[in-house]
Structure 1
Amino acid sequence: MARPKTIDRDSLLDAAENVLGREGAAALSFGAIATEAGISKASVQSVFGSREKVLDALLDRWLNKEQERYRTLLPENADAKARLLTHISATQQETSEAGIRTLTLLAAQAGTQSESMVNWYKERFGNLEATDEASRKRRILYLATEGAFMMRNMVGFESGSAFWDEVFNDLKEFAG
């Protein structure tokens, strides 16, 4: 008797990314992932259980990659200001493709709270409480950075890379 084939979850996520990139979130299904990966639809379903879990797994994967990149930029023993400046720089360096991909997943999950995204924000920003002028300024700059990210990637506000570099450099300058 033949040994059962092991299904590689990361390979299935690669296949899901290919489908998502080529056809968009609406086309992301067990069948589409199975066709891309060359396995049965039931095999994909046995790994993930639901389409929402595929979306969550993709989002987790991308957030982890972004978090790794952020950590490589973060100075040792970083204070609140250094963490903010690192976040602005990491967001500035984010490719449009990666930003659009992340926002596409969030849009596909509309109507449900993304636990991964909430946890990512809490780890990066804390609870955004501000008790003094410096923490209020950091909070506004975090929110402005995220707003710029959304305008560039979700809204598709095209102004060229020089414009966005200027915006992110202004944010860093305002951070002091």
Structure 2
Amino acid sequence: MPPTFRTAPTISGGVRQYVLPVAVASDWVDVCLDPAQIDNEPGVQAAGVVVNPGAIARAAQTWLAIAGLGTSLQARLKYPTAATVSASPVAQVFGRDRQGRAQRLVDAGGLHAQTLSVDVANDVRDGVYSYTQPIEVDADGCAETLVAIRTALAGTGLAGATIQARVK
């Protein structure tokens, strides 16, 4: 759905356009098929810090096209309910404009690196998979987003674990 434009008179008598954000929550989609692998550049960045999202070229990682239609992006970990998790993944969300220029996307508190914390007692379950509480970042008008892995998911029985995202 395209943005809605309205006009209103200005003090000087001219006309100004108002852009009203329009957002519809999308469905959850898998954007990282292997959260047990970090996305840093070996030998370039310490401690898994991701600073060049454009260099991530692994097949398990996907840019999510949002075309600037959402105002925020949520991400969560989907993991097998029977799994034993010893380390929750830490994600860094990036966005890029239509020209491919990347930027960091942060939450309301200004945090860029966020933990997708596994809480086996309280995570939502569907019988096969469990889902962490989502993290949420401002999409900042980006055309595409990427949930990069700074710290890998670790544990046993993690086959099928993914990072999911949605726009709202």
More helix by share: 1
TM bin (shorter chain):
under 0.3
Greater RCO between the two (CA within 8 Å, min separation 6)?
A: 2
More strand by share: 2
* Superposition TM-score, scaled by structure 2 size: 0.24
